[in-house]
Chain A
Amino acid sequence: EDKVVQSPLSLVVHEGDTVTLNCSYEVTNFRSLLWYKQEKKAPTFLFMLTSSGIEKKSGRLSSILDKKELFSILNITATQTGDSAVYLCAVDWGTGKLIFGQGTTLQVKP
């Protein structure tokens, strides 16, 4: 059965901390892995990863994919309270359909 598993499910940190969110997957057809941020509305796109070992960066966020070990990580450095959200990992089967992980709820305290 195709599945995407995220860990941890929830995380509480203080401003300035660095966090690493994990996403592992088992899918029969893999096209890309995507990270989204969700704050009480529809998810907003963060990254799309298709190749192993190539880090993608956007400000304090970065992500990398390991297609051999079937996982990805999302790093957030110097966290801010505005980073508090649910972070979703999803895998695209190649048809456009996405399988989502359970999400990681991140709370950043001042």
Chain B
Amino acid sequence: GAVVSQHPSRVICKSGTSVKIECRSLDFQATTMFWYRQFPKQSLMLMATSNEGSKATYEQGVEKDKFLINHASLTLSTLTVTSAHPEDSSFYICSAPDRNRYEQYFGPGTRLTVT
């Protein structure tokens, strides 16, 4: 079946630094990918839609200059958390829909801790 990978699975960084998270679709092409964030004991919240070949669209309240998204190819989207702060510590999950967008394939997630 379709597989979506994320790298790294876990990262710890210092406040003020930037962190890049990669999301790859391994056996299918994804013109669109989605980035979600999940705080402890909360549900997944959509952050942005990553579009291959065009700018990402961000959900209300998500700072586009802080969370930089680049959909470099049909199989890779990256999320860069710039100038990270402790409140950015969260579980970041990407997903990619299949061609008919009837099922979402989730990556395994990246746990970010900002100290």
A positions within 8 Å CB-CB of B:
31-32, 34, 41-45, 48, 88, 90, 92, 94-103
Complex Cα distance A92/B101, Å?
Answer: 9
> Which chain B residues border A98 with CB–CB below 8 Å?
34, 44, 46, 95, 104
Q: Are B46 and A97 in contact (CB under 8 A)?
A: yes
Q: Are B104 and A42 in contact (CB under 8 A)?
A: no
> How many B residues touch A, CB cutoff 8 Å?
19
> Which chain A residues border B25 with CB–CB below 8 Å?
none
Q: In the complex, what residue of chain B is closest to A105 when comparing beta carbons? A: B41
Q: Are A99 and B97 in contact (CB under 8 A)?
A: no
Please count the residue pairs between chain A and chain B whose beta carbons lie under 8 angstroms apart in the complex. 49
Binding-face segment, B12-20, B68-76, B79-87, B106-114: B106-114
Q: Are A99 and B46 in contact (CB under 8 A)?
A: yes
Complex Cα distance A41/B91, Å?
Answer: 9
Cβ proximity bits B22-63 to A, threshold 8 Å, 1 near / 0 not:
000000000010100000001111100100000000000000
Complex Cα distance A20/B104, Å?
Answer: 24
Please provide the 10 A-B residue pairs with the shortest distance between their CB atoms, ordered closest to farther: A96-B97, A42-B106, A42-B109, A96-B101, A100-B43, A100-B44, A103-B43, A102-B43, A42-B108, A42-B93
Complex Cα distance A92/B97, Å?
Answer: 11
Q: Are A96 and B43 in contact (CB under 8 A)?
A: no
Complex Cα distance A100/B108, Å?
Answer: 17
Complex Cα distance A31/B75, Å?
Answer: 25
Candidate in A96, A97, A100, A102 with the most chain B CB atoms within 10 angstroms: A96
Complex Cα distance A90/B101, Å?
Answer: 14
Q: Are A101 and B43 in contact (CB under 8 A)?
A: yes
> Which chain A residues border B101 with CB–CB below 8 Å?
31, 92, 94-96
